[in-house]
Amino acid sequence: MTASPFYGHFDDLRGRTVFGWVWSPEDPSRQVAVTVLIDGRTVGHVLAASYRPDVEAAGIADGCRGFEVMVPLDLMDGAEHEIAVMAEDDTPLLGSPRRMILADLRFHPIPSAPADYPIELAICAIAKNEARYLLEWIAYHRVVGVQHFLVFDNESNDGTSEMLDRLADQGLVHRVPWPTVPGTSPQIAAYAEGLRRLRAQAKWIAFIDLDEFLNPLTDASVTAVLADYEGAGGLVVPWRIFGSSNETVWRDDLVIRRFLRRAEDAHPVNAHVKTIARSDCIAQVSVHTPTLSRGQLVDEFRIVAGSASDPDAHAVPGAQRLVLNHYFAKSWEEWGAKRARGRADVNAIRDDGDFAAHDCNEVEDAGMLARCGEVLEEMNRLHDQIEAVAL
């Protein structure tokens, strides 16, 4: 029997992704094609050309000898299957074939939530020194259908606390003072307390930040979108990262009007989601995707979150109904203020490299301009309402 000229390994299945590596010792510059079969059915034929640092560390060419193949959803059925990964000469790679139980990643709807919640959609958020942006963020989300705001105030000293208190006096928000406890994540703790407070009050809870704006692309409101996902435990909403739009300093205008350039849909920075979950299904909170006691987290196409591998990094490049505009960087001046605030999720200071990584301006996206008039009207109404109380 002639030895195969190829050497490689079928490493594992992560989510729906079959991955491994292969190379040709006789021709190290060559990139080898592999075929993945499940129960004899070909599900993928790709060139092993992706970079693997561990492969490079092993001295194998330049490390660009990895491969990944996505298993079709109809095979992710909770049953045992045989996975075989073959090199170009039809020789199985080491670790192949292998019998594995494939997780059931098909969408299984559950009964709709009870209809007697006083609040259809609430936002739970943590804030620190957001006075410049707070009124716009609240006004915008009221325009797109959010009915309640539970805001945990993490030691603000720029007027945020006072503004939240005045809004709370009008029943528009609920402010909870939330000091940082050394060694803990203020954000996770706030979300856990938020779930406790909202579970019996709100049907849906969105866990987002004050630089994130829920953007219904074709519907008038976020609640109109959610109405089509009653059978899910939650809807994951993909990021759309907006860059600085070449703004260098803060100026007094709407965030949604100042920043109109973002990363391409398929850019890696967009490969994260936040979640709007049914309160009756949440078992444990997290920054991006909660653990559910029942039901499933799905994207707008009803693909189960985590089907590729990590539910937090569930990219939805073709989203058509609901995205989360994430104004991460803003201008360089505003980035400096954000950096000084620190991170709420891990209680740490950001690196300036984060600005460069998120200052993506490849795509012009002026979709939010259509809402500016309504947002300004709502901001003026809220401002007049709280100023009248102050007087």
CATH, range 119-387:
3.90.550
Domains 7-101 and 119-387 share a fold: no
Q: What is the pLDDT of residue 234?
A: 98
Distance CA 6, CA 26 (A): 8
Question: Domain spans of the chain?
Answer: 7-101, 119-387
Q: Find out whether the peptide bond into 97 is cis, omega within 30 degrees of 0.
A: yes
Question: Between helices 160-169 and 134-143, what is the axis angle to 10°?
Answer: 40
pLDDT in tens for each of the 391 residues of the chain? 467 899 999 999 988 899 999 999 999 999 999 999 999 999 999 999 999 999 999 999 999 999 999 999 899 999 999 999 999 999 999 999 999 999 888 899 999 988 889 999 999 999 999 999 999 999 999 999 999 999 999 999 999 999 999 999 999 999 999 999 888 889 999 999 999 999 999 999 999 999 999 999 999 999 999 999 999 999 999 999 999 999 999 999 999 999 999 999 999 999 999 999 999 999 999 999 999 999 999 999 999 998 776 888 888 989 999 999 999 989 999 999 888 877 766 556 677 889 999 999 999 999 999 999 999 999 999 999 888 755 5
Q: What's the pLDDT score for residue 1?
A: 46
What does the pLDDT read at residue 389? 59
User: Residue 344 has what pLDDT?
Assistant: 65
* CA–centroid distance for 166 within its chain: 31
Q: What is the pLDDT of residue 317?
A: 87
User: What's the confidence (pLDDT) of residue 137?
Assistant: 98
Topology adopted by domain 7-101: Immunoglobulin-like (2.60.40)
Quickly tell me which residue has 């909403």 as its tokens.
237
**C-alpha span between 29 and 27 (Å, rounded):** 6
> In which residue are the tokens 């190829």 written?
6
Locus of tokens 């707070």: 134
Contacts of 225 (CB under 8 A, 6+ apart): 216, 219, 235, 300, 321, 322
Strand ordering across the sheet containing 80-86 = 41-47, 33-38, 80-86, 98-101
Alpha-carbon distance 307 to 351, whole Å? 31
- Model pTM score: 0.84
Task: For residue 386, give Cα distances in angstroms to 19, 136, 257.
Answer: 57, 14, 24
